[in-house]
């Protein structure tokens, strides 16, 4: 199992505050002989809604273009895996508000998000709350 992202627990707490029940952490997805791990599987029982959440940190000091490229690559890999498995899933990329106000608000970030229809859960790591859903 891969290591948790730095903000993993903050996202778990944010989702729970938003009314989600965490059903799995490090949710496995098998594609033939390969196994992928998505950070969080959560459900809203009354709405019969399930989401899969990939947490990305976007560390201060790292190249934001490289972080964006890595997040996009992982997101697209997971979508391709579910297409292969013929499963329709609600995949969400959880990013800190600083990344949303930063690279995701710049022309390259906005273009990437809209071109690839990336669904976002923007969270505040200090208050551990979801501040914006973009789906």
More confident residue, 61 or 102: 102
Question: Are 41 and 23 in contact, with CB atoms under 8 Å apart?
Answer: yes
For 91-125, write each residue's pLDDT tens digit.
999 999 999 999 999 999 999 999 999 999 999 99
Q: Which two tokens stand for residue 77?
A: 């890999």
Residues 6+ apart with CB under 8 A from 4: 25, 26, 39, 55
Query: Comparing C-alpha atoms, which of 72, 98, 74, 80 is closest to residue 31?
Result: 80
Please give the model's pTM, rounded to 2 decimal places: 0.93
Q: Which fold has domain 19-134?
A: Trna Endonuclease; Chain: A, domain 1 (3.40.1350)
């Amino acid at each position: 199992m891969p290591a948790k992202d730095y903000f993993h627990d903050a996202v778990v707490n944010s989702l729970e505050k938003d009314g989600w029940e965490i059903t799995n952490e490090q949710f496995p997805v098998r594609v033939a002989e390969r196994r992928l791990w998505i950070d969080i599987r959560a459900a809203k029982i009354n709405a019969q809604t399930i989401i899969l959440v990939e947490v990305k940190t976007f560390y201060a000091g790292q190249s934001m273009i490289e972080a964006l490229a890595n997040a996009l690559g992982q997101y697209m890999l997971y979508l391709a895996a579910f297409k292969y498995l013929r499963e329709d899933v609600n995949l969400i990329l959880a990013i800190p508000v600083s990344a949303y106000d930063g690279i995701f608000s710049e022309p390259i970030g906005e273009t990437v998000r809209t071109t690839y229809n990336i669904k976002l859960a923007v969270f505040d790591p200090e208050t551990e709350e979801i501040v914006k859903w973009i789906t």
